[in-house]
């Protein structure tokens, strides 16, 4: 009922809702009613994400995490990419398309399939890829499965190589 009265939610309502059964009297071209609804309140629409607010890890921070073994680093690129371009030492390869399933395996199955320790939901997990796009998607998938301390390395392999060459 509120939608029928407040058709201007955030100034936009999908065109599918502009029909006479939803908005009686919507006869103005473009589907908008010429009747003003002063009693309607403006609504603030916002997106929701299951990812934690601060998720980026820089090169230096990643180096420290690797050295201290305080994180599980998961590279979500395809195996051929690791063979062709290289990988971050100490990382586990779980291709992006397998992340959701892999994080729901039993620990011994994960170990057998991916050759590394399966992260627990409370572990610090850092996802990486080539340039930070796939790792962000993996982070979102892990967070939706209940992983609490998930991060991603937005620079990915490209940033890693650049920084390693300077050191």
Q: Which residues are identified as catalytic?
A: 129
Compute the Cα dihedral for 70, 121, 99, 49 and give only its sign.
negative
Give per-residue burial for 103-139: e unless 16+ CB within 10 Å, then b.
Answer: beeeeeebeeebebebbeeeebbbbbbbebebbbebb
Alpha-carbon Rg for the chain, nearest whole angstrom, is 24
Q: Provide the 8-state DSSP code for 60.
A: H
d(CA 92, CA 90): 7
The encoded tokens of residue 55 equal 């998720």
Compute the Cα dihedral for 33, 34, 39, 44 and give only its sign.
positive
């Amino acid at each position: 009922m509120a939608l029928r009265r407040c058709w201007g939610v955030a100034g936009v309502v999908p065109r599918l809702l502009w029909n006479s059964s939803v908005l009686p009297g919507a006869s103005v071209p473009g589907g908008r009613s010429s009747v003003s609804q002063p009693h309607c309140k403006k609504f603030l629409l916002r997106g929701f994400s299951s990812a934690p607010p601060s998720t980026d890890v820089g090169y230096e921070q990643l180096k420290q995490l690797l050295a201290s073994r305080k994180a599980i680093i998961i590279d979500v690129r395809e195996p051929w990419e690791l063979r062709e371009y290289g990988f971050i030492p100490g990382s586990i390869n779980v291709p992006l398309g397998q992340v959701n399933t892999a994080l729901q395996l039993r620990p011994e199955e994960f170990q057998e399939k991916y050759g590394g320790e399966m992260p627990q939901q409370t572990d610090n997990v850092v996802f990486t890829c080539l340039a930070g796009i796939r790792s962000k998607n993996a982070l979102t998938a892990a967070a939706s499965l209940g992983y609490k301390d998930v991060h991603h390395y937005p620079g990915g392999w490209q940033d890693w190589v650049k920084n390693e060459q300077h050191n």
